[in-house]
Protein backbone atom coordinates (compact mmCIF):
# COMPACT_ATOMS: atom_id res chain seq x y z
CA UNK A 1 0.00 0.00 0.00
CA UNK A 2 1.44 3.37 -1.01
CA UNK A 3 0.55 6.74 0.43
CA UNK A 4 -1.73 8.42 -2.07
CA UNK A 5 -0.30 11.80 -3.11
CA UNK A 6 -3.61 13.56 -2.54
CA UNK A 7 -3.95 11.94 0.90
CA UNK A 8 -0.42 12.98 1.85
CA UNK A 9 -0.95 16.59 0.80
CA UNK A 10 -4.27 16.72 2.65
CA UNK A 11 -2.62 15.24 5.77
CA UNK A 12 0.18 17.83 5.54
CA UNK A 13 -2.32 20.67 5.21
CA UNK A 14 -4.24 19.37 8.24
CA UNK A 15 -1.04 19.27 10.33
CA UNK A 16 -0.12 22.81 9.29
CA UNK A 17 -3.62 24.04 10.13
CA UNK A 18 -3.28 22.66 13.67
CA UNK A 19 0.00 24.52 14.09
CA UNK A 20 2.52 21.69 14.09
CA UNK A 21 6.14 22.68 13.53
CA UNK A 22 7.55 22.11 10.04
CA UNK A 23 9.96 19.51 11.41
CA UNK A 24 7.02 17.58 12.90
CA UNK A 25 5.07 17.75 9.63
CA UNK A 26 8.09 16.41 7.74
CA UNK A 27 8.73 13.61 10.25
CA UNK A 28 5.04 12.63 10.40
CA UNK A 29 4.72 12.20 6.64
CA UNK A 30 8.02 10.30 6.54
CA UNK A 31 6.92 7.91 9.29
CA UNK A 32 3.51 7.42 7.68
CA UNK A 33 5.18 6.50 4.36
CA UNK A 34 7.22 3.83 6.20
CA UNK A 35 4.03 2.52 7.79
CA UNK A 36 2.25 2.23 4.46
CA UNK A 37 5.23 0.39 2.95
CA UNK A 38 5.07 -2.08 5.83
CA UNK A 39 1.32 -2.52 5.28
CA UNK A 40 2.06 -3.39 1.66
CA UNK A 41 4.52 -6.06 2.78
CA UNK A 42 1.73 -7.50 4.93
CA UNK A 43 -0.65 -7.50 1.94
CA UNK A 44 -2.91 -4.94 3.59
CA UNK A 45 -4.27 -2.79 0.79
CA UNK A 46 -7.23 -0.89 2.27
CA UNK A 47 -7.50 1.52 5.21
CA UNK A 48 -10.44 -0.40 6.66
CA UNK A 49 -8.21 -3.48 6.96
CA UNK A 50 -6.07 -1.75 9.60
CA UNK A 51 -7.03 -3.08 13.05
CA UNK A 52 -5.68 -2.86 16.60
CA UNK A 53 -3.67 -6.09 16.09
CA UNK A 54 -2.22 -4.49 12.93
CA UNK A 55 -0.95 -1.53 14.94
CA UNK A 56 0.47 -3.78 17.68
CA UNK A 57 2.20 -5.88 15.03
CA UNK A 58 3.74 -2.75 13.52
CA UNK A 59 4.87 -1.64 16.99
CA UNK A 60 6.61 -4.99 17.42
CA UNK A 61 8.18 -4.54 13.97
CA UNK A 62 9.60 -1.16 15.02
CA UNK A 63 11.05 -2.65 18.21
CA UNK A 64 12.96 -5.30 16.25
CA UNK A 65 13.77 -3.31 13.11
CA UNK A 66 17.38 -2.40 12.45
CA UNK A 67 18.41 1.23 12.48
CA UNK A 68 19.14 2.27 8.89
CA UNK A 69 21.63 5.00 9.87
CA UNK A 70 23.64 3.22 12.53
CA UNK A 71 24.12 -0.21 14.03
CA UNK A 72 21.61 -1.57 16.47
CA UNK A 73 17.87 -1.14 16.78
CA UNK A 74 15.67 1.94 16.78
CA UNK A 75 15.80 4.15 19.87
CA UNK A 76 12.73 4.43 22.08
CA UNK A 77 12.39 8.08 21.03
CA UNK A 78 12.32 7.03 17.38
CA UNK A 79 9.69 4.36 18.06
CA UNK A 80 7.61 6.88 20.00
CA UNK A 81 7.93 9.34 17.11
CA UNK A 82 6.62 6.71 14.69
CA UNK A 83 3.62 5.83 16.84
CA UNK A 84 2.78 9.49 17.52
CA UNK A 85 2.79 10.07 13.76
CA UNK A 86 0.28 7.23 13.38
CA UNK A 87 -1.87 8.77 16.10
CA UNK A 88 -1.94 12.01 14.10
CA UNK A 89 -2.82 10.07 10.97
CA UNK A 90 -5.60 8.26 12.85
CA UNK A 91 -7.08 11.51 14.09
CA UNK A 92 -6.81 13.08 10.63
CA UNK A 93 -8.57 10.12 8.98
CA UNK A 94 -11.34 10.13 11.58
CA UNK A 95 -11.93 13.90 11.46
CA UNK A 96 -12.05 13.89 7.66
CA UNK A 97 -14.36 10.87 7.54
CA UNK A 98 -11.91 8.70 5.61
CA UNK A 99 -11.47 5.86 8.11
CA UNK A 100 -11.31 4.97 11.78
CA UNK A 101 -8.03 3.49 12.97
CA UNK A 102 -7.75 2.77 16.70
CA UNK A 103 -4.30 3.11 18.22
CA UNK A 104 -4.28 1.89 21.81
CA UNK A 105 -0.64 1.76 22.83
CA UNK A 106 0.89 2.94 26.10
CA UNK A 107 4.26 4.49 25.30
CA UNK A 108 6.93 5.55 27.80
CA UNK A 109 7.73 9.25 28.01
CA UNK A 110 10.45 10.42 25.66
CA UNK A 111 13.92 10.74 27.16
CA UNK A 112 14.41 14.05 28.92
CA UNK A 113 10.67 14.68 29.18
CA UNK A 114 10.13 13.73 32.84
CA UNK A 115 8.08 16.49 34.40
CA UNK A 116 7.41 17.35 38.02
CA UNK A 117 3.69 18.04 38.41
CA UNK A 118 1.67 19.01 41.47
CA UNK A 119 -1.73 17.59 42.31
CA UNK A 120 -4.60 20.04 42.69
CA UNK A 121 -4.54 19.39 46.44
CA UNK A 122 -0.86 20.35 46.55
CA UNK A 123 -1.60 23.57 44.66
CA UNK A 124 -4.23 24.45 47.26
CA UNK A 125 -1.66 23.86 50.00
CA UNK A 126 0.63 26.39 48.31
CA UNK A 127 -2.17 28.96 48.33
CA UNK A 128 -2.91 28.30 52.02
CA UNK A 129 0.79 28.73 52.83
CA UNK A 130 0.75 32.31 51.50
CA UNK A 131 -1.15 33.81 54.42
CA UNK A 132 -2.72 37.30 54.42
CA UNK A 133 0.31 39.54 54.91
CA UNK A 134 1.36 42.05 52.27
CA UNK A 135 3.93 39.67 50.80
CA UNK A 136 1.52 36.78 51.26
CA UNK A 137 -1.00 38.51 49.01
CA UNK A 138 1.80 39.17 46.52
CA UNK A 139 2.71 35.48 46.64
CA UNK A 140 -0.90 34.52 45.91
CA UNK A 141 -0.67 36.73 42.84
CA UNK A 142 2.48 34.84 41.84
CA UNK A 143 0.54 31.58 42.01
CA UNK A 144 -2.35 33.17 40.10
CA UNK A 145 -0.05 34.14 37.24
CA UNK A 146 2.25 31.12 37.09
CA UNK A 147 -0.33 28.45 37.90
CA UNK A 148 -3.67 30.08 37.09
CA UNK A 149 -2.41 31.62 33.82
CA UNK A 150 0.39 29.16 33.09
CA UNK A 151 2.92 31.85 32.21
CA UNK A 152 6.62 31.24 31.69
CA UNK A 153 9.07 32.78 34.17
CA UNK A 154 10.06 35.79 32.06
CA UNK A 155 6.48 36.35 30.88
CA UNK A 156 5.26 36.75 34.46
CA UNK A 157 8.14 38.87 35.75
CA UNK A 158 7.87 41.22 32.75
CA UNK A 159 4.16 41.89 33.27
CA UNK A 160 3.19 45.52 33.81
CA UNK A 161 0.12 46.63 35.74
CA UNK A 162 -1.42 47.72 32.43
CA UNK A 163 -1.21 44.11 31.18
CA UNK A 164 -3.77 42.95 33.74
CA UNK A 165 -7.09 43.64 32.01
CA UNK A 166 -9.55 42.97 34.81
CA UNK A 167 -12.61 44.30 32.98
CA UNK A 168 -11.96 42.05 29.99
CA UNK A 169 -10.76 39.19 32.24
CA UNK A 170 -7.53 38.85 30.27
CA UNK A 171 -3.80 38.94 30.91
CA UNK A 172 -1.80 40.47 28.07
CA UNK A 173 1.51 38.70 27.47
CA UNK A 174 3.35 41.30 25.41
CA UNK A 175 6.47 39.33 24.61
CA UNK A 176 6.16 35.60 24.98
CA UNK A 177 8.54 32.95 23.72
CA UNK A 178 9.59 33.75 20.16
CA UNK A 179 8.46 37.36 20.68
CA UNK A 180 4.83 36.35 20.21
CA UNK A 181 2.16 38.20 22.16
CA UNK A 182 -1.03 36.55 23.35
CA UNK A 183 -3.99 37.13 25.67
CA UNK A 184 -4.63 34.63 28.45
CA UNK A 185 -8.22 34.38 29.77
CA UNK A 186 -8.79 34.41 33.54
CA UNK A 187 -11.70 33.15 35.62
CA UNK A 188 -13.86 35.35 37.84
CA UNK A 189 -12.12 33.91 40.91
CA UNK A 190 -8.71 34.73 39.45
CA UNK A 191 -9.90 38.22 38.53
CA UNK A 192 -10.98 38.91 42.12
CA UNK A 193 -7.71 37.54 43.51
CA UNK A 194 -5.57 39.70 41.21
CA UNK A 195 -7.72 42.75 41.96
CA UNK A 196 -7.22 42.16 45.68
CA UNK A 197 -3.44 42.19 45.23
CA UNK A 198 -3.55 45.32 43.05
CA UNK A 199 -5.77 47.26 45.45
CA UNK A 200 -4.04 46.26 48.69
CA UNK A 201 -0.59 44.64 48.75
CA UNK A 202 0.76 46.27 45.59
CA UNK A 203 -0.29 49.73 46.82
CA UNK A 204 1.30 49.07 50.19
CA UNK A 205 4.60 48.01 48.60
CA UNK A 206 4.62 51.15 46.46
CA UNK A 207 3.71 53.57 49.24
CA UNK A 208 6.10 52.13 51.82
CA UNK A 209 9.00 52.62 49.41
CA UNK A 210 7.80 55.87 47.83
CA UNK A 211 8.13 54.28 44.40
CA UNK A 212 6.45 54.83 41.03
CA UNK A 213 6.72 51.48 39.31
CA UNK A 214 4.85 50.08 36.29
CA UNK A 215 5.65 46.45 37.11
CA UNK A 216 2.77 44.23 38.17
CA UNK A 217 4.85 42.24 40.62
CA UNK A 218 6.75 44.20 43.25
CA UNK A 219 9.47 43.14 45.65
CA UNK A 220 10.08 44.43 49.17
CA UNK A 221 11.80 47.51 47.72
CA UNK A 222 8.77 48.40 45.64
CA UNK A 223 10.53 47.52 42.40
CA UNK A 224 10.18 44.73 39.85
CA UNK A 225 11.69 41.53 41.31
CA UNK A 226 13.96 39.22 39.34
CA UNK A 227 13.07 35.69 38.30
CA UNK A 228 15.27 34.16 40.97
CA UNK A 229 13.29 36.00 43.66
CA UNK A 230 10.04 34.56 42.34
CA UNK A 231 11.48 31.05 42.23
CA UNK A 232 12.78 31.38 45.78
CA UNK A 233 9.38 32.51 47.06
CA UNK A 234 7.62 29.53 45.45
CA UNK A 235 10.18 27.15 46.94
CA UNK A 236 9.67 28.74 50.37
CA UNK A 237 5.92 28.27 49.97
CA UNK A 238 6.46 24.60 49.09
CA UNK A 239 8.53 24.15 52.24
CA UNK A 240 5.90 25.90 54.36
CA UNK A 241 3.21 23.68 52.80
CA UNK A 242 5.27 20.56 53.62
CA UNK A 243 5.38 19.49 49.98
CA UNK A 244 7.94 16.76 49.45
CA UNK A 245 8.79 17.97 45.95
CA UNK A 246 11.38 20.27 44.42
CA UNK A 247 9.39 22.84 42.48
CA UNK A 248 9.93 26.00 40.48
CA UNK A 249 7.83 28.39 38.43
CA UNK A 250 7.73 25.98 35.50
CA UNK A 251 6.33 23.29 37.81
CA UNK A 252 3.25 25.49 38.18
CA UNK A 253 2.98 25.81 34.39
CA UNK A 254 3.35 22.04 33.94
CA UNK A 255 0.70 21.51 36.61
CA UNK A 256 -2.00 23.76 35.13
CA UNK A 257 -1.44 22.18 31.71
CA UNK A 258 -1.96 18.72 33.16
CA UNK A 259 -4.99 19.79 35.22
CA UNK A 260 -6.65 21.41 32.19
CA UNK A 261 -6.23 18.19 30.20
CA UNK A 262 -7.64 16.26 33.16
CA UNK A 263 -10.70 18.53 33.15
CA UNK A 264 -11.37 17.66 29.51
CA UNK A 265 -9.96 20.71 27.71
CA UNK A 266 -8.79 19.84 24.21
CA UNK A 267 -5.11 19.67 23.34
CA UNK A 268 -5.38 22.57 20.87
CA UNK A 269 -6.96 24.86 23.47
CA UNK A 270 -4.35 23.96 26.09
CA UNK A 271 -1.65 24.64 23.49
CA UNK A 272 -3.06 28.11 22.78
CA UNK A 273 -3.42 28.80 26.51
CA UNK A 274 0.26 27.99 27.07
CA UNK A 275 1.42 29.93 24.02
CA UNK A 276 2.99 26.89 22.36
CA UNK A 277 3.92 27.30 18.71
CA UNK A 278 2.96 23.69 17.98
CA UNK A 279 0.99 20.85 19.57
CA UNK A 280 4.17 18.79 19.82
CA UNK A 281 5.25 20.83 22.86
CA UNK A 282 1.88 20.29 24.56
CA UNK A 283 1.73 16.55 23.96
CA UNK A 284 4.33 15.87 26.66
CA UNK A 285 1.55 16.50 29.20
CA UNK A 286 -0.92 13.95 27.82
CA UNK A 287 0.75 10.95 29.48
CA UNK A 288 0.67 12.75 32.86
CA UNK A 289 -3.03 13.53 33.08
CA UNK A 290 -3.87 10.09 34.51
CA UNK A 291 -0.90 10.06 36.89
CA UNK A 292 -1.61 13.02 39.23
Could you list the active site residues? 152, 177, 250, 253, 276, 285
Please tell me the distance from the alpha carbon of residue 171 to that of residue 174, in angstroms, as a whole number: 9
Please tell me the distance from the alpha carbon of residue 96 to that of residue 206, in angstroms, as a whole number: 56
Amino acid sequence: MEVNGVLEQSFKKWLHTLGYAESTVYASTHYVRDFFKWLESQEIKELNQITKPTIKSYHNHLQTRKNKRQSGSLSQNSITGNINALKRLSRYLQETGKAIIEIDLQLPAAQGQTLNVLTQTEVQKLYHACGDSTLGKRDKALLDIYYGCGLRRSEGINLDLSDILLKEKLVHVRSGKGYKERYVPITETLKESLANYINTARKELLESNNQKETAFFLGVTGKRPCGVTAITRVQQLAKAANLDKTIGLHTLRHSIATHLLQSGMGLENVSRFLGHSSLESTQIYTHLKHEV
